[in-house]
Structure formats: C-alpha cells, structure tokens
Structure 1
Amino acid sequence: MSADTVSNKDVLIVGAGPCGLTLAHELLRRGIQPRIIEKNAAASQNTKALGVMTRTLELLTPSGIAGEMVAQGVKVPAFRVYSEGRQLACFDFTHHVDSAYSYVLTLPQPMTEEILAQHVVELGGNIERGVELINLEQQEEGVEVVLRHADGREERSRTRWLVGCDGAHSIVRHLVGATFVGRTLEQSFATGNVRMHWNVPSDRAFACLKRGDLIAYFPIPGGQHRVVIAYKPEDAPTGEITLDEIQRAIDACGPEGARVSDPTWLARYQINERRVDHYVWQHVVLVGDAAHIHSPVGGQGMNTGMQDAFNLAWKLALVVQGKASERLLESYASEREEVGRQLVQRTGLLTRLALMHQPLAIAARDMIIPHVTRLEKVQQAFTATMAELSIAYRHSPLTSEYHGEKTRSGHSPVKAGDRAPDGPVTIGTAKAPGRLYELLNGNRHVLLIFAHQKEIGSELQNTLSEWQDWLDVYLIQRGQLDSEGEQAYYDPDGSLAQRYGIADEGLVLIRPDGYIALRSQPIATEPLQRYFTTISSPARPSAVVG
C-alpha cells in the first residue's frame, strides 16, 4: 500500500503512556505543538504502575496536575517490611521527607494517564490513537517515518525529533538498533487488585517475607489493595492467577487471618533488568521503559520515566525554538543514563535482599536490617531515594559552582546539580509568608539573588535585561524588610540562604526542571555568562535560554 505524505512536525512522540503524555504536556506548556501517536485504539485499563513519588508530584505542581492526583489517590505515609511475622524495617516518609508531599501517593496508572491526557487536550494537544510507527529513517535534518493507521492506511511523515515513549517493547528502540543490555531474573511474580478483609489501617503499605517468598500490599482508591506476590523459581505457579492462589500466598506469608475477595485485575510476569547503551540516536530520543526496565520493587519505574520527560522537555523545547544548540540534548543523555544505571543497580539489590531464600543469608539479613534501618541517616537516605529526592546531576556539563577568591566554599547542605530545596520566603511589605516553590513555574530558569541591599540586586538585574525573555529573576533581600513595593522578597533570618549554602551574598540559578544549575558566591555575572554560553545556540550567540 502506498504511503500518503503529510506535513512536517517538529516533534513526534511515539507512545501515549505516562512518559509520552508528560513530555507532550511539558512541550505544550512551552509553546511547542508535538504530534502524539499511540498504537492502541483506546487508553489501557491495565493498572500496572501505582506509586507516584514525591519528586514527580513536585514537578507536576506548577501545572495543577499534582493537586488533581492527590485528590484522587491514597496517601501512604510509611512502608513496613516483615519477615516471619517480625518487623524488619519501617520507612517513614512523613517524618523524613522534606517536601509538601511527604508520602507515597498510590494512584492506578489509568487514572494517572487520564489526568495527564485531559491536561494535554486542554492545552491544544491531540492524541492520535490507533496509529503505529512501522519504520523510520534518520536524515540530516530529522527523521522520516512510516505510520500505519487503524484502517490499514500508511502515512509517510517527517519530523525534526522523534521521541520513543513506547515502553519496554519499544519499536523505536528496535528500529534505531539500540542494544538493550541486561538480563531476565528467574523470579516469577503475580499481581492483582483485590479487596482485603483484615484489621489493618486503610493507608498501610507493607511487605511480608517468608523464606524466599514475598507478598506486598498497597492501598488503592476505592477500598481495594494491590497485592504483589513473588515466588522462588522452583515454586512458581503457571497459568491463570486464581483467588485461591492469592489466598494461599497470604496464608503462607501473612498477615495471619487476612482474607481476600473481589479480584478486578490479575497478571503474571517476570522481571527484566535492562537499559540501552545510548539515550539519544541523532534525532531520535528514548524515554522511560524504552530506555530502561528493572524490578518493580520500590515503585520507581513510571516515576523515573516521567522524570526523563521533565529533563528532556525544557531542553528539547529550547532546541526546537532555535534558542539552544542541539548539543544541549547531550546533557539529557548523560544525566538520565546515569540515573537509569543507578536505578537498575539499586532495585536489583533490593529485590535480591527481599527474595533471598538460603537460611543462613535470611538469618543474617533479619538480624542486621532492624539495627541498620533504625539509624536516622539510613532512614533519611532510604526515604529520599524512594521519594526520588536524592537524584542529582552534580557531574553534568550544565552544572557549576563558583567561589570568588575571598569566598570560602565551606560545607553546604546542597551542591549545584542537586534538587532545589523549597523554603520560606516573605513577600512584600505585608510580610506575607510564602514558599520558594511558589515562584518556580517550571517553564523558565529562575535566578535567586541573595543580597543585603536592594541596590546590589537592582544593578545585577539591569545587566540581565538582555536575558529577561528567558529568566525569572528574584531579589531575595537579607536583613530587615524594606518599606517599598509589593513585589519584594525577603529572607529575614537567612534560613532560605542557609538551605542553599549561601553564607553571605550570592546567586542561585535553578533550571526549569527544578535542579540547581549554578551557585555563585559572591554575586557575579561571569559564571552566569559561562552557563548560558554552554547551552546557547552557536547561530545566536546572544541568545540566553531559560
């Protein structure tokens, strides 16, 4: 069948799952109209991914999406692990996660996709369902693709950038010839959504281990629970999952006396640990499960993919707009490849710890883990990792620290490349309390100028006038509140500056995806100019992005 040729698009997104929808939404917020195709004719009702982590919710806050998710999901304040009926660990997000979202939100993937799709449509996006990518050819200025529609019609199209968000069996990954390095684990898993009958709080999430077997419980909206069962390789059942099978797993692992009923979704699967060798292939970019798959232990998969999309969106938008060089996308590859590598290693280790079945290894684990996990530093490190707040880009080419000759760097709670922490800020002469995150809209770079005197910040703002289309600039005045103006911002006790490691005066540049690009002590324009030179388009040397 001959293929009809249609007009070009700057960005073609293949896959309308959480990653593709997040990328489409973030591009639309920046004025880029991508084309979004999905081979399935209707949105999937497979609940699959469940947990929405703290960092993902923070990134979804400026658009209002996080609020809608929280209203529909279940807040899980902690996660407990038991072995042979004895508690090994309790990881408390409420007390150890420094965020407005100090919990894990459980929300079935279809609900997440529905909320994201609604926002995409509201911004003028169109999700073309029943359209499948069947071939692509890389060219100097972009990619030529062949698409097949549900009626069998084939279409030939061109796009400057093609982004594969099409999951673990990605056709995009296959067509570019990316190597998917890794292995398939021997463990077999069964999962389902069921109604539990027990005397357990409705927001309780926990796992029960017993000699190499595991069952975990996660509350979901509507009074149901997601159960996840792991078997030793030699004990794994086959065929369709039954209610009796789930009940046998509960009776074997716990909790004692719990009963199950009303299954609504059941699935059996094995775990793969794989990642691609490259995330960017000329004008093709891989995102989410198309680039990395791993154990579901820890609930990191969907969140990591969505954060791939947040990292990519602002960079791709600037490239498409001609404000930044294509080289900027190299930072997407380097930053997210490292995150993917660490993710596969970390989830693999957690899986092996949970599913070990040799008696001596289990005894050692059950003796050591309770003592280690009671340590405050371990609690903070584990919960921050699960909440995805510990992700950082300290070694990124976009990250820099600057300290003047008379300024000592000293110890800082954060470094350039880390997630930008939230903190209190006083707004205007009315002394209205506010939060820094209220100033981050996710579209532009934000420059914080910490200064004692208003005049110092004003002088710097004047030098930044050529960048005003790409930057939001906030003078954060130290000391006593000024008597002028409603748009002034204050840090009277220096607590916000302390969170950013600014001892006296300095600059903090925050990227659109909420990570610190630059810290400078003292206030200086030179490091800002170097940063912008790094990412600006060679064809437009005066252009500065944000």
Structure 2
Amino acid sequence: MSDPILIVGAGPTGLTAALELSRFGVPVRLVDQAEGPATTSRALGIQARTMELLEQRGLVDEILRLGNPAGFGSIYGDGKRLVRIDFSTVRSRYAYLMNLSQAETERILREAVAAAGVAIEWRTRLVGIAQDSLSHDADKVTATLERPDGTLELAHAPWLISGEGAHSLVRTTLGMSFAGETNPRHYMLGDVRVDGDLAATDFHIFGSAEGFMALFPLAPGHFRLIADNPPKRDDGDGGHEGAPDLAEIQQIYDQRSAIPARFHDMSWSSWFRINSRMVDRLAVGRMFVGGDAAHIHAPAGAQGMNTGMQDMINLCWKLALVERGQASVGLLDSYGAERLPVIRGVLGKTETITSLIGTEAPVGRMIIDHVAPLIGGLRAVQSNTANHMAQIEYGYGHSALSENHGAKGSVSAGDRVPELTVRVPGAGGAVSRLLPLLDPSGFTLLVAQDGDDATIDPALASALGGVALRVVALAAASGEEDAYRHVLGGRGCVFLIRPDGYVALAASARAAPDALRGWFDRWLRPGG
C-alpha cells in the first residue's frame, strides 16, 4: 500500500474520515492548523441517523451518557406555541434530537481515532496542493504543509480529503463553485444557565416581527440561544464589537418569548453570520471535499455536522475498497452522485425553515400564525418533518449502485436499513434488531426465511463468488410477523447491505443469484 491518505481538518468531518479509513485498514495522516482541540460548543444536535451509525462503531454509549435528548420541538409565533413536533414518529431507536456540545462529540471521535493508531498533527497548515492524474505513480497528490516550526514539507499521498471547513484551501484552489448567498443579518449566540419554565424536553424556535430565536437544551437548566437582529450597540462598527453580554441575551429573549426565564452564568457567547452555499461537485481527480468545505447553511434543524459526518461514511468505504484494489476507481463517482442530492435537500429545507419562521413581514407572520397550527398538527406532517430532520428519510434510490430485482417488501435498493426486530435462526433463534446484524466494515447479505431454517440456497452461495461478506438468515420475531412480511417480503428475498447501512440490492429468491453476480462484477472486481 502507498503512503497514507492525507486528511486535512480534525473537526467532525475529518475525524470521521480518519476513523472510517482506519477501520478498513487504510493508513491515514490527519493534520489541522489549529493549536489544539476546540473548546467551544458550536454544533449541538446529533440526529437519529448519525446515532445509528455511531452505535455500529461502538461510540453511542458515551453520547447517551453525556447528551440531553430532546423528544419534542416547539415552534412559536408571536409568543404562542403554534406546533409541537413529536420525535416519537421517527422510525429509529433514537427518536429524539440528541443535544451534546460539539467539543464533546469531537473528543469522543478523537479518542476512537487515537485508539486506531492515528495521531493528529496540530499546528500543521496546508499551504499548497497539486495532483497529476496522468501519473503512473501511486502517490498522485502532492501537498505542501507548514509545520509548527515554520518549515515546509512536501507530502505525497494517493488521495486527499478536505474537512477544512468553510474556508477550504482545497476547494478554492481546485476552483470548485461554492454557490449560494450570505444572509445580511447578524446573529448572536450564548450558552446560558436558565431559571424558569423553559422545558429541557424540547428545543424551542420563536418567530416574531422582531426576528428569529432558537434555544436548544444542553442539559436541564442549560441552553444554547441563537437569535438574529440582535440589539445594536453604539460602538462604531455596526453594533457588534466584543462578544454579546448576558444583558443582551436576556433582552432579546424577553422581547421574543412569553415563557418566563432568567439567564445567568453564561459560559460562551459570540456573533456570527449565516451562509447558505454548496459545491457543484465533491471531487476533482484524487481530491475530495466534505462537511463545511462542501456545504454550509443556517443552524435551523441541526443538520450541518451530521451531514458532514455522513459524507465521510459514504465516501470512505468506497475509497478503502479502491485503495485496497478490491474495486475499480469508478466506484468513487458515486460519492458525489449520492451525496449532492442529499446536501441540496438539506440546504433547501434549512433555508425554508429559516425564511418562514424568521419572516418579519406582517402578512407572512399572519399566514404562519394561522396556518401552521392547522397543518403542523397532522400526524403525516409531523412524521415527515421529524424523519427528514432526523435524516432517516434520505437515501440513495437514484444511485447507479442501487438495484431492485423483484423483492416484494417495502424496503428498496438505496434505502437505509430500517428498524425491525427479527429472529436469527443461525444464532439459536436469538432476537435482534437489524442494525446490530450489519457489518460496518464490509457487506452484509440478509436472507429472509420462514421458521427456523438457516440454510442458504446453494445457487445463492455460488453467486457470492468468493466475495467476503457476512451472510445472515432471518426469521420473523414473535409478534412481528406482519411487520416482517411488510418490510422484507416473502421467503428467500435477499438484500445486499453496504458498509454504510444502505441497501445496495433487493431481489426475489429467483432473481437473487444472477443479480448478485452482476452487481459484484460491476462494482467489486477491478475492471468490471
């Protein structure tokens, strides 16, 4: 194997990339220009889909211990609650928004990366890049790094991943479009202790003629407040010199909320601006971008960090197979083809939420205040809103990697593997959720059976052609028979599951052998 893959940026995106590639046995080098780990909270929300992926990687228990789950989201208009989103409709074990400081999330990821043998090189800045796509050398990327002592190093790598953030040198050097807009408003945030009636079971979003405000519960009695149109100061620079103080945070809360609350012990505050931008491609040659280097948007919905981490979980299993010689380089084209539509959907929804709730126009406010309670109370609307916010609804059905061949269940190629309790005949009839049965380090073949038969059709076994994967025969758990048939279809239906937990292929018993053979030939055998 060649030199390590170079990952630039040790935030959630870069750390996830380093963890994933290390799990697949691919060496990495992780650099960051910062002095050391961040101590401010920045992003907070961990969505259900990210929680599922972290569970598979053995990291969710610490998050459950430290985090504060919000099972509801309350949306207010001119002081009155208009809608309360119920996250129990999320089709996941993690039916809530988990609130945890990004500093803690990064610490958990850093410890996992360190356990995998990766040491972060702090105070190491990327200052230049080059690549030769026509070269026959394994190391086609050259990066100039400025070391902590100011000396320059010419580093070579087979691939480069940028998790640098919004000011990515890789993105700008490669001339990637970063289309979108900058919101002209100023925003303020503060992490405060709260005495009063503000429920820690909910995140709270307020819209009024004065503007937008949101509060996210870090813990009972401890909230993050975000608001636009903060009160201006007479300091000669638009009113935003120095960090917001506690009196300003209290003032804007009292102006926009009718819920009694008094703030104290503010641990951090800041001003910021909102951009809504995304790239039009995620790779140029052997260089990839993800996370904030590829997409930035409003904090509404707590989507940014989750989207960046899932970018890397999508990319890295493919990159590992290519780097190990187990797949052709064409597999990497699916990174952009799959993730760009997801990113576009996330940006569209966050822009809509920010625009609707934050509108100050009297007509707009009147429409929202009267229509939102009628529509938002419908269970179908609640479910759709909660599952999209939880990133459960996003999938890759449009991808060239997703193939359907006559399976009768509700699960289709490109879908996330759903929550379902099953029996595993090959494990003595043990009862399990589907998620723990999947192999996040390889492919899994799920075979729907009846009764206690764990035997795999010889034609199916022959179709595997020596491809290493986990094969699991399934049966309906007691009381789950109807759900089992609805989700997985009839006896013998087969589902090939990717390492990132999405269905690559769904096939009937009759179609499965040829369908699997064809899929493996196209994607897992170099030159196929």
TM-score range, shorter chain: over 0.9
Following TM superposition, by how much is the alpha carbon of 1:458 offset from its aligned partner in structure 2, in angstroms? 4.1
Give 2:252's match in structure 1, choosing from 239, 249, 253: 249
Give 1:98's match in structure 2, choosing from 91, 95, 105: 91
* Distance of 1:348 and 1:234 partners within structure 2: 25
Letter aligned with residue 415 of structure 2: D
Give 2:436's match in structure 1, choosing from 411, 419, 438: 438
What CA deviation, in whole Å up to 9, does each residue of 1:356-398 have, x standing for no partner?
A: 1111111011111111011111011000011000111111000
Matched residue, 2:3: 9
SS in 1 for 2:391: coil
* Distance of 2:467 and 2:455 partners within structure 1: 18
Following TM superposition, by how much is the alpha carbon of 1:346 offset from its aligned partner in structure 2, in angstroms? 1.1
* Distance of 2:104 and 2:522 partners within structure 1: 40
Letter aligned with residue 149 of structure 1: R
* Distance of 2:217 and 2:339 partners within structure 1: 30
Matched residue, 2:174: 176
1:534 correspondence with 2:522: yes
Matched residue, 1:482: none
Alignment CA distance shift 1:313-1:496 (3 Å): farther
1:371 correspondence with 2:374: yes
Letter aligned with residue 353 of structure 1: L
What CA deviation, in whole Å up to 9, does each residue of 1:261-312 have, x standing for no partner?
A: 1111111111111111210100000011101111111110000000001101
1:322 correspondence with 2:316: no
Give 1:133's match in structure 2, choosing from 126, 129, 149: 126
Structure 2 length-normalised TM = 0.93
What CA deviation, in whole Å up to 9, does each residue of 1:331-375 have, x standing for no partner?
A: 001111111111111111111001111111110111111110111
Following TM superposition, by how much is the alpha carbon of 1:468 offset from its aligned partner in structure 2, in angstroms? 4.5
Give 2:414's match in structure 1, choosing from 417, 431, 434: 417
Following TM superposition, by how much is the alpha carbon of 1:233 offset from its aligned partner in structure 2, in angstroms? 11
Letter aligned with residue 31 of structure 1: G
* Distance of 2:103 and 2:491 partners within structure 1: 48
Give 2:204's match in structure 1, choosing from 203, 206, 209: 206
SS in 2 for 1:267: strand
Following TM superposition, by how much is the alpha carbon of 1:45 offset from its aligned partner in structure 2, in angstroms? 1.3
Contact persistence 1:168–1:293 (CA under 8 A): yes
Give 2:487's match in structure 1, choosing from 487, 494, 500: 500
What CA deviation, in whole Å up to 9, does each residue of 1:68-97 have, x standing for no partner?
A: 11111111111101112211111111x201
Alignment CA distance shift 1:32-1:222 (3 Å): farther
Where do residues 218-367 of structure 1 align in structure 2 (5 Å cutoff)? 218-221=216-219, 223-231=221-229, 237-240=239-242, 241-367=244-370
* Distance of 2:94 and 2:38 partners within structure 1: 27
Matched residue, 1:22: 16
Contact persistence 2:448–2:494 (CA under 8 A): yes
Alignment CA distance shift 1:525-1:464 (3 Å): closer
Q: Which blocks of at least 5 consecutive residues in structure 2 are unaligned? A: none
Following TM superposition, by how much is the alpha carbon of 1:474 offset from its aligned partner in structure 2, in angstroms? 1.0
Contact persistence 2:463–2:516 (CA under 8 A): no
Matched residue, 2:465: 466
Alignment CA distance shift 1:152-1:374 (3 Å): same
Matched residue, 1:61: 55
Alignment CA distance shift 1:233-1:378 (3 Å): farther
What CA deviation, in whole Å up to 9, does each residue of 1:22-44 have, x standing for no partner?
A: 11111111111211001112111
SS in 2 for 1:397: coil
Contact persistence 1:188–1:233 (CA under 8 A): no
Where do residues 397-412 of structure 1 align in structure 2 (5 Å cutoff)? 397-403=400-406
SS in 2 for 1:336: helix
Matched residue, 1:4: none
Alignment CA distance shift 1:232-1:151 (3 Å): closer
Letter aligned with residue 524 of structure 2: S
* Distance of 1:17 and 1:122 partners within structure 2: 17
Following TM superposition, by how much is the alpha carbon of 1:139 offset from its aligned partner in structure 2, in angstroms? 1.1
Letter aligned with residue 517 of structure 2: Q
SS in 2 for 1:136: strand
Contact persistence 2:454–2:474 (CA under 8 A): no
Letter aligned with residue 526 of structure 2: P
Contact persistence 1:186–1:233 (CA under 8 A): no
Letter aligned with residue 463 of structure 1: S
Contact persistence 2:76–2:206 (CA under 8 A): yes
* Distance of 2:248 and 2:164 partners within structure 1: 32
Contact persistence 1:477–1:491 (CA under 8 A): no
Which range is displaced more, 140-149 or 219-228?
219-228
* Distance of 2:78 and 2:66 partners within structure 1: 34
Give 1:517's match in structure 2, choosing from 492, 501, 504: 504
SS in 2 for 1:202: coil
1:426 correspondence with 2:409: no
Following TM superposition, by how much is the alpha carbon of 1:203 offset from its aligned partner in structure 2, in angstroms? 3.0
Contact persistence 1:195–1:262 (CA under 8 A): yes
Alignment CA distance shift 1:334-1:70 (3 Å): same
SS in 2 for 1:443: coil
Contact persistence 2:208–2:365 (CA under 8 A): no
Q: Which blocks of at least 5 consecutive residues in structure 1 are unaligned? A: 1-6, 479-489, 542-546
What CA deviation, in whole Å up to 9, does each residue of 1:137-182 have, x standing for no partner?
A: 1112521111001110110011110000010111111121211111
Aligned alpha-carbon RMSD (Å): 2.2
SS in 2 for 1:187: coil
Which range is displaced more, 96-105 or 425-434?
425-434
